[in-house]
Amino acid sequence: MTRLGQLAEEVRSGGRGRTYAIAAGLILLAVIYPEIVEALEDVPLIGDFVPGVDSMVVMIVFTMMAVGLNVVVGYAGLLDLGYVAFYAAGAYTAGWLASQQFEQVSFSFFSPTHNDEPGIHFSMWLVLIIAGVFTTIVGILIGLPTLRLRGDYLAIVTLGFGEIVPQFVRNGDSLGGFDLTNGTFGISPIDSLAFGSFVFRTQSNRAELFYWTAVALLLFTVFCCIRLRDSRLGRAWVAIREDETAAAAMGVPLMRTKTWSYAIGAFFGGVAGAFYASFKSGAFPADFYFNISVFLLCMVILGGMGSIAGVILGGMLLGYLNVEGLSTIGTKLQDGGLDFDPTKYQFGIYGIIVVVVMLFRPTGLIPERRHQIELAEGVHDTPFYDVQTEGAMTDRDRSND
Amino acid sequence: MASALERLRRSSAVDLTGLGLVALVLFWLAVNFVKAPAEFINVGLIGLTNGAIYGIVALGYTIVYGILQLINFAHGDVFALSGLVASTVIVSVLGLDADASVPVIVGGMLLTLVVIMTMFSFVNATIERVAYKPLRHAPRLAPLITAIGVSFIVQNVGLAIYGVNFRSVPAFIPPTNVFEIGGVSYTWDKLAALMVVVPLLGLLTWFVRQTRQGKAMRAVSQDREASAMMGIDVNRTISITFAIAGSLAGAAGIVFLLQFNMRYDTGFELGLIAFTAAVLGGIGNLPGAVLGAILIGLIQAFNEGLTWFAPGSDWTRTIVFGILILILVFRPEGLLGERTPEGA
């Protein structure tokens, strides 16, 4: 028995060592990617499909949002169909605090290159944090009244917010005569990330600088999510996901725990949104629509709900298809004489991916262990009618008399 | 009176906020009515007609939700696709144009109605068979997510066949007035929509209330296992429900096409509006869906048509979803519904 235990321990620690080794290798590969990308592009056959550094930045930003969404959908099991609202909130925070949008004032804070310009100019690094905090507050404000709802009702309410926020920013150019969001034109240009007067956007290796920042942000997000998953809060989330009623009975404060998952998911969405706004130097209302929320959800589902490695894989894969892959494939097909443009049908393709994954591999590419068990053995997801209907309670009480 | 006061005292702050909001809206409507009564009624009639069209789509959501507790996201897109196919049937297959004689137009329309309703009842039942049935025992979010995927697939089928351009049909029914009283008028093309919608509602109510199959539907929506034990073929009943929902979507597609232009993604927004209507009336409740749809139609029309402090069409989406959120927060059971487990 003890020998068996020791063996299991060895396997387990060995497994962990292997995981660390793979993770370290991947991180190293990610860091040196800009240096090797040219060599990769020369490789025959696959060379054309290698994403450039610029595309990689976009892919990583979306992956980061997917990892944030995974906290809400994967850990806590709350279906959020309005994640794009957080992305928009983050991007517009960057627009407000680091551009010439409010030209009535001239204020700069740790942003030496913008000292004399009109508008508010915070250091972009600070803006990333402020955007995260602001979006967290938005998330809590959205969450407090709505998280009492369960399941699909919650999904619909989040969908509603995901539709309201873009329309708000689109119409926000004359709120009582005040131009908050510059309407359909969006806010542009937005300041670049910079160390003092070393401005990323004006450097010759601009893409690489943004790329490494994106990698750092993603690593930070992943680190936070792993630590959160293994925390008391993370276990509470999983408990709620598995069985809300049982979790409540065990003393998990439902509202507070759910709101935390919402707030933390929103935080990463906001930071990613602000970073992306700085990278492409603008926040445009056309970028924020329902399909983006579904696209992010797709990444989480394809990768495996609740599994960080899975979500990263799903995010990079779908992000790649979105940014470059589909158009590359389309060009190849057209070279081969087939008149089909996959980018036109990208959301149909994502739809097929979602349906196929849900039907044939609901746990995703890299399943989370607990979620796998849940799907294999079934859940007790049936809501408790008898406890909630007051009539049923009194009837039972009466019959006991 | 005393009991009403008592109830008022017992109601919580949440209820009072909700009542306050309703009072504000009523006040806004009253001021608008006093300022321009004829215009107000005209706008209201437009809202009523649109609301009736939303109503048939909303019924599709509500009967499917009633039986499977599934928000069938694809329903709006099935509606849009049916409208597009109807445009092909009317224009290319039947070759109808606005100059044809009245019997030919009426006959052609009825034929299209029957063809499209039959076709999309099969389409919707097939969607259920392929995409939702295997997930009947999965966690509840699984079929919902699948429904979103199906929604995108159906939308892209429309895109692949019909491209990105809007489709329309010739104005078969001229927008001449049915009546005009003191500035208030109502046109034939709008009345035609009601002439399709109202009999359909009657037919559906009769089917669900009176027929054996309708009884089976109600039984399955109450307790799937118990009805199986009573000898009801649950799978067949669910298929039939989806078929009915599909045929309703088809009818709505034609009625909508006669008044508006349609495109592959028309169904997404209209579907969400119709779903909001179903929730407003109390999801799973048939009269509720129609009531909710008419209210949403009126709200939309008043918002876009009135002149005194109306936010205008830029904000329609915000208002509709705002209502959805307020309803779900303040009264998740809807206007006519009963408390569901999703509620507080």
- Predicted local confidence at residue B33, as pLDDT: 83
- Are the C-beta atoms of B320 and B279 separated by less than 8 Å? no
- Residue B205, helix vs strand vs coil: helix
- Predicted local confidence at residue A66, as pLDDT: 96
Q: How far apart are CA A71 and CA A265, in angstroms?
A: 6
Nearest Cβ partner for B156 among A151, A156, A348: A348
Nearest chain A Cα to B311, which residue? A171
Q: Retrieve residue A13's tokens.
A: 């620690």
Q: Which residues pair with B179 in a beta bridge?
A: B186
Only one residue has tokens 């669900």, namely: B208
Mean residue pLDDT of chain B comes to 85
Q: Retrieve residue A223's tokens.
A: 């680190």
What average pLDDT does this structure show over B25-54? 86
pLDDT tens per residue, range B283-321? 888 888 899 999 999 988 888 877 777 777 778 888 888
B/e letters for B304-323, b = 16+ CB within 10 Å, e = fewer, are bbbeeeeeeeebbbbbbbbb
Contacts of B142 in chain A (CB under 8 A): 358, 362
Q: How far apart are CA A14 and CA A169, in angstroms?
A: 51
Provide φ and ψ at A178, rounded to 5°: -100, 130
Q: How far apart are CA B198 and CA B290, in angstroms?
A: 10
First to last CA, chain A: 54
Q: How far apart are CA B134 and CA A25, in angstroms?
A: 40
Give whole-number Cα distances, A366 to A357, A361, B171, in Å: 12, 10, 55
User: Touching check for B283 and chain A: CB below 8 Å?
Assistant: no
pLDDT band at B79 (very low <50, low <70, confident <90, very high): very high
Higher pLDDT, A146 or B343: A146
Contacts of A386 in chain B (CB under 8 A): none
What average pLDDT does this structure show over B34-51? 86
- Predicted local confidence at residue B140, as pLDDT: 75
B/e letters for A358-385, b = 16+ CB within 10 Å, e = fewer, are bbeebbbbbbbeebbebbeeeeebebee
Q: What secondary structure does DSSP assign to A225-288, as a single string?
A: HHHHHTSHHHHHHHHHHH-HHHHHHTT--HHHHHHHHHHHHHHHHHHHHHHHHHHHT-B-GGG-
Q: ipTM exceeding 0.85?
A: no
Q: Show Cβ contacts of residue A22 under 8 Å, excluding neighbours closer than 6 positions.
A: none
- Are the C-beta atoms of A149 and B343 separated by less than 8 Å? yes
pLDDT tens per residue, range B220-254? 988 888 999 999 999 999 999 999 999 999 999 99
- Predicted local confidence at residue B341, as pLDDT: 46
Tell me the HSE value of B342 on the side-chain side, using a 13 A CA sphere: 29
Q: How far apart are CA A354 and CA A361, in angstroms?
A: 10
Nearest Cβ partner for A149 among B146, B148, B332: B332
pLDDT tens per residue, range B143-181? 888 999 999 999 999 999 998 889 888 877 777 777 777
How many interface pairs between A and B have CB atoms less than 8 angstroms apart? 143
Nearest Cβ partner for B342 among A149, A378, A384: A149
Nearest chain A Cα to B69, which residue? A152
What average pLDDT does this structure show over B14-26? 80
Structure letter (DSSP) for residue B74: T
Q: How far apart are CA B77 and CA A125, in angstroms?
A: 43
Nearest Cβ partner for B315 among A171, A290, A388: A171
Nearest chain A Cα to B133, which residue? A359
Nearest chain B Cα to A168, which residue? B318
Contacts of A388 in chain B (CB under 8 A): 339, 341
Q: What secondary structure does DSSP assign to A5-54, as a single string?
A: HHHHHHHHHHHHHHHHHHHHHHHHHHHHHHHHHHHHHTSTTTGGGPPPHH
Q: Show Cβ contacts of residue A392 under 8 Å, excluding neighbours closer than 6 positions.
A: A385, A386
Q: Retrieve residue A278's tokens.
A: 């700085």
CB–CB of B317 and A159 under 8 A?
A: no
- Our separate counts of H helices and E strands in chain A read 16, 4
Q: How far apart are CA A32 and CA A339, in angstroms?
A: 37
Burial bucket for residue B36 (CB in 10 Å: 0-12, 13-18, 19+): middle
Provide φ and ψ at A199, rounded to 5°: -90, 125
Q: What secondary structure does DSSP assign to A130-157, as a single string?
A: HHHHHHHHHHHHHHHHHTTS-HHHHHHH
Chain B, residues 107-166, CB within 8 A of chain A, namely 131, 134-135, 137-146, 148-153, 155-157, 159-160
- How open is the CA angle A350-A352-A353, to the nearest 5 degrees? 60
Nearest to A70 by CA among A203, A228, A283: A228
CB–CB of A163 and B272 under 8 A?
A: yes
- Predicted local confidence at residue B147, as pLDDT: 93
Long-range contacts of B31-34 (CB under 8 A, 24+ apart): B31/B308, B32/B302, B32/B306, B32/B307, B32/B308, B32/B310
Nearest chain B Cα to A74, which residue? B141
CB–CB of A297 and B156 under 8 A?
A: no
What average pLDDT does this structure show over B270-289? 87
Helices A290-303 and A308-320, axial angle in degrees (round to 10): 130
- Are the C-beta atoms of A190 and A283 separated by less than 8 Å? yes
Nearest to B52 by CA among B259, B210, B334, B220: B259
Q: How far apart are CA A81 and CA A62, in angstroms?
A: 15
- Cis link prior to B37 (omega < 30° from 0)? no
Helices A151-171 and A290-303, axial angle in degrees (round to 10): 140
- Predicted local confidence at residue A276, as pLDDT: 94
Give the percent of chain B with pLDDT over 70: 94
Mutation target vs A (from B321, B323, B324; most A CBs, 10 A cutoff): B321
Q: Retrieve residue A58's tokens.
A: 């976009």
Displacement of CA B37 from its chain's centroid (Å): 28
Each residue's pLDDT tens digit in chain A (401 positions)?
456 666 556 555 556 677 788 888 888 888 888 888 888 888 877 778 888 899 999 999 999 999 999 999 999 988 888 899 999 999 999 999 888 888 777 777 777 777 777 888 888 899 999 999 999 999 998 888 788 776 677 888 888 888 888 888 888 887 777 788 888 888 888 888 888 788 888 888 888 899 999 999 999 999 999 999 999 999 999 999 888 889 999 999 988 999 999 999 999 999 999 999 999 888 888 888 888 998 999 899 999 888 999 999 999 999 999 988 888 888 888 888 887 888 888 889 999 998 999 898 888 888 887 767 766 665 544 443 333 333 333 333 333 33
Only one residue has tokens 């100019």, namely: A121
Q: Retrieve residue A144's tokens.
A: 């407090």
First to last CA, chain B: 29
CB–CB of A347 and B156 under 8 A?
A: yes
User: Residue A393 is inside which H or E element, if any?
Assistant: helix A390-400
* Torsion angle in degrees (nearest 10) through CA of B294, B297, B300, B304: -120
Nearest chain B Cα to A294, which residue? B148
- Predicted local confidence at residue A65, as pLDDT: 95
Nearest chain A Cα to B73, which residue? A156
Nearest Cα of chain A lies from the Cα of B341 at a distance, in angstroms, of 6
- Predicted local confidence at residue B269, as pLDDT: 84
Tell me the HSE value of A53 on the side-chain side, using a 13 A CA sphere: 22
Q: Are strands A119-122 and A106-109 parallel, antiparallel or unpaired?
A: parallel
- Residue A194, helix vs strand vs coil: strand
CB–CB of A148 and B324 under 8 A?
A: no
Contacts of B317 in chain A (CB under 8 A): 163-164, 167
Q: How far apart are CA B284 and CA B303, in angstroms?
A: 27
Helices A254-280 and A124-146, axial angle in degrees (round to 10): 140
Mutation target vs A (from B146, B154, B157, B283; most A CBs, 10 A cutoff): B146
